[in-house]
Amino acid sequence: MPAGSVPGASTPAADGAGRGITTPDDGWLRVHPASPFVRGWVALAAIGFFFGRDIFERTLQGRPMFEDGFAGRVPWLVAGGGAVLLVAVLSFVLTWYFTKYQVSGGYVRVNTGFLFRQQRQARLDRVQAIDIVQPLLARIFGLAELKFEVADAGESAVRLAYLKIDDAQQLRATILARAAGIDEDAGNPGAPAPEAPEYPVLSVPPSRLIGSLLLSEQSLFVVVGGVASVVLSAVTDNRAFYFYLIPAALGLAASYWNLFNKGYNFRAAISPDGIRLRYGLLDTQAQTLPPGRIQALKISQPPLWRPFGWYRMQVNVAGYGLLENAGEASSRTTLLPVGKLDDAMNMLALVLPDPGTSRPGEVFGAGLTGLDSDGGFVTTPRRARLLAPLGWRRNGFAATDTALLIRSGRWWRNLVLVPHQRTQSMALHQGPLARRFRVADLVLHTTAGPVVPRLTQAGLDEARALFDEQSARARLARRRQTTEQWLRQVVPPTSGAESPATETGPFGNEAHQQQEGPHHG
């Protein structure tokens, strides 16, 4: 075995034996042979439809399948369809044959292409998150796609589609073990890394998910638009306004279905690997967010959710939200689609185990519901209340030893949290009207995502002081983080593992706290 190779990924005996994985002689592995057909079934269906539509239409119309003018074209259609199908299948087979992957020497590598060859590799210690995705057709065949994101990659660094679900879970465990800094077992160098145990934290009932969708912001806008259309139709006696409701209703139904499909059966768990999220009705997804990889977090509460005490949590993670469709990016950056206050505090305790203050309940509670100087927050000065008549008492900030908290919104409440070490840069913004009232906005730059850390309408002196203080906090926090391997940030490698215990969390709620210690047994 080469130095630094990973058990279960680069050793033929350890990988291929008894699991049905094709293992090349040079230690590289191939994806499942059915992968190209699972990915390309749409192309095969399109070919069949194109060459068989005439026969299909004749069958539906009750006409003879072969007529005088049509019968002479049948051999050519069959020959053409067979040739195109043969080329498609051959391309699928070649794509599978030339797609190989390897985890070794601190890197994961993927080779693709038979005409235009490409090799991608990424460092394991830069892993930001790792997902197992199962589209409906892949679930039927017991296959899964493995994605993992790497810092500064700009897109998914590696997408392996498709592996057997057991192999995908094993490879995820191996990658996370190496990325966390777990050394190979010297006594059994060929053994694959075992799956880390997990402990459930919360789940979202389908009834709550449906209620949150019906009371969402988009429902409010659609209702307002529908009422406006009805009023305009009645006033102008023009029934054309009703037709505008049809595309709106179709778009709303599609949006609701997408959100329900992505959020159904949402479950969160904690393991020494990190935070594990599972969700999906038809297409299921299992995400693993390693500890400390979340760049920024936002807890929000729309006004219609307030009577029920519901909250939503979204995060910025390096690589997420870039070069993806909006629906996929939204689901992958959602830490909690809808939950009670205790659920939000449980998840917050997982993201920020050390709140950095001796009174976390007061500080974070004031960030969610407080006004003025509650919890030590510094708000917009009274002289600028005309700029935000409803929100000036809410807009503010507070800093703990580990994170900066920014709250905003009187009706749409938001609390943004940025760990100090994740602050990449900052900027002060001040327009002509803000100069008149001596206020400024402070923007913190993190990775791209749904969370935009922006302190609005802070007093000019307070914003300048925060700019200098936050720069110092960020530098100090980054110096304390001496390694990218998260397990070695908290404890030196030892043998054995300890089980997480359920105890009162740092935010005064019942949270699942993981014990420090190696996580792969």
Per-residue pLDDT for the chain (521 aa), expressed as one digit of tens each?
333 333 333 333 333 333 333 444 456 888 888 887 777 666 666 666 666 666 666 666 666 655 555 555 666 666 766 777 777 778 878 888 888 888 777 788 888 877 788 888 878 777 778 889 898 888 888 899 888 777 654 555 678 888 899 888 888 888 887 776 666 665 665 567 777 788 999 999 999 999 999 898 777 777 777 777 777 777 777 766 667 677 777 777 888 888 898 899 999 999 888 899 999 998 899 998 877 788 999 999 999 999 999 999 999 987 675 545 555 667 788 999 999 999 999 999 999 888 999 999 899 999 999 999 999 999 999 999 999 998 999 999 999 999 999 999 988 999 999 999 999 899 999 999 999 999 999 999 988 889 999 999 999 999 999 999 999 999 999 888 655 555 554 443 333 334 343 444 566 554 444 433 333 33
Q: Are residues 299 and 247 in the same domain?
A: no
Q: Are residues 246 and 365 in the same domain?
A: no
Say how far apart CA 511 and CA 205 lie, in whole Å.
19
Give the containing element (helix H, strand E) for 343: helix 341-351
- For the entire predicted model, the pTM comes to 0.77
Establish if 413 belongs to a structural domain.
Answer: yes
Q: What is the pLDDT of residue 521?
A: 34
Q: Are residues 213 and 347 in the same domain?
A: no
Reduce the secondary structure of 283-320 to three states and give it as a string.
CEEEEEECCCCEEEEEEEECHHHHHHCCEEEEEEECCC
Q: Which domain does 60 fall in, by range?
A: 41-95
Q: Are residues 459 and 333 in the same domain?
A: yes
Reduce the secondary structure of 151-191 to three states and give it as a string.
CCCCCCCEEEEEEEHHHHHHHHHHHHHHHHCCCCCCCCCCC
Give the containing element (helix H, strand E) for 52: helix 41-61
Q: What is the pLDDT of residue 39?
A: 74
Establish if 100 belongs to a structural domain.
Answer: no
Establish if 360 belongs to a structural domain.
Answer: yes
Whole-angstrom CA distances from 145 to 45, 142, 178 are 22, 11, 20
Q: What is the pLDDT of residue 325?
A: 55
Q: Are residues 466 and 369 in the same domain?
A: yes
Q: What is the pLDDT of residue 498?
A: 41
Q: Are residues 468 and 372 in the same domain?
A: yes
Report, in this order, helix, strand and coil percent for the chain, each rounded to 5. Answer: 40, 25, 35
CA 440 to chain centre: 32
Establish if 127 belongs to a structural domain.
Answer: no
Establish if 357 belongs to a structural domain.
Answer: yes
The DSSP result for 187-207, as a single string, is TSTTPPPPPPP-EEEEE--HH
Whole-angstrom CA distances from 387 to 127, 433, 435 are 43, 9, 12
Establish if 191 belongs to a structural domain.
Answer: no
Q: Are residues 417 and 352 in the same domain?
A: yes
Q: What residues does 199 pair with on adjacent strands?
A: 270
- Give the dihedral of Cα atoms 514, 515, 516, 520; nearest 10 deg: -70
Q: Are residues 245 and 375 in the same domain?
A: no
- In the chain, the number of structural domains is 3
Establish if 402 belongs to a structural domain.
Answer: yes
Say how far apart CA 369 and CA 49 lie, in whole Å.
57
Say how far apart CA 354 and CA 376 lie, in whole Å.
18
Q: Please count the other Cβ atoms lying within 10 Å of the Cβ belonging to residue 4.
A: 12
Establish if 194 belongs to a structural domain.
Answer: no
Say how far apart CA 421 and CA 334 lie, in whole Å.
22
Q: What is the pLDDT of residue 315?
A: 93
Q: Are residues 354 and 459 in the same domain?
A: yes
Q: Are residues 476 and 380 in the same domain?
A: yes
Q: Are residues 305 and 220 in the same domain?
A: no
Q: What is the pLDDT of residue 47?
A: 63
Q: Are residues 330 and 432 in the same domain?
A: yes
